[in-house]
């Protein structure tokens, strides 16, 4: 096996998001977003299941905090229903669902929101063209 064959970055297994308060974040990700909570681990980390990827939400050991500049996009079947449900759970959206791309086969709709620590996320859905 060559070096190139042994190094094959493929599937993302886990993504980490830094937060100020892991307890507050756990409540948000579990109760407001409805992500499947897996477990907590020291020091101040919580793990959630997002399809085949696990999401680690944790405090920085140095105490330093900066919101992430990476945006995570969650696929949803019905963006309008998901948007309404998340609003009812008091998730703070930056903007309502809007069209971002259109092809002959589908329209891509997105709505962006932030967690309590200002980390940016989005829900996205493909709709049949009108």
Q: What is the pLDDT of residues 22-70, one digit of tens each?
A: 999 999 999 999 999 999 999 999 999 999 999 999 998 887 888 788 9
Judgement on whether residues 47 and 85 belong to the same structural domain of the protein: no
Segment holding 79, helix H or strand E: helix 79-88
**Predicted TM-score of the model (pTM):** 0.86
Virtual torsion, Cα 101, 104, 107, 108, nearest 10 deg: -50
* Cα angle, residue 71 at apex, residues 67 and 73 outer, rounded to 5°: 140
Average pLDDT over every residue of 11-27: 94
Same domain, 85 and 42: no
| Residue-wise pLDDT tens digits, 96-130 | 999 999 999 999 999 999 999 999 999 999 999 87
Domain harbouring 95, CATH code: 3.10.180.10
User: In terms of domains, do 85 and 56 share one?
Assistant: no
């Amino acid at each position: 096996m060559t070096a190139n064959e042994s190094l094959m970055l493929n599937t993302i297994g886990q993504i980490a998001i830094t937060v100020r308060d892991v307890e507050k974040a756990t409540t948000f990700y579990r109760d407001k977003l409805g992500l499947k909570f897996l477990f907590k681990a020291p020091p101040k980390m919580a793990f959630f299941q997002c399809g085949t990827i696990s999401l680690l939400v944790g405090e920085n050991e140095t105490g330093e905090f900066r919101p992430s500049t990476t945006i995570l996009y969650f696929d949803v079947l019905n963006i309008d229903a998901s948007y309404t449900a998340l609003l009812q759970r008091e998730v703070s959206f930056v903007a309502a669902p809007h069209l971002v791309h259109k092809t002959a086969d589908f329209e891509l709709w997105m709505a962006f929101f932030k967690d309590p620590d200002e980390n940016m996320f989005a829900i996205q859905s493909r709709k049949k063209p009108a």
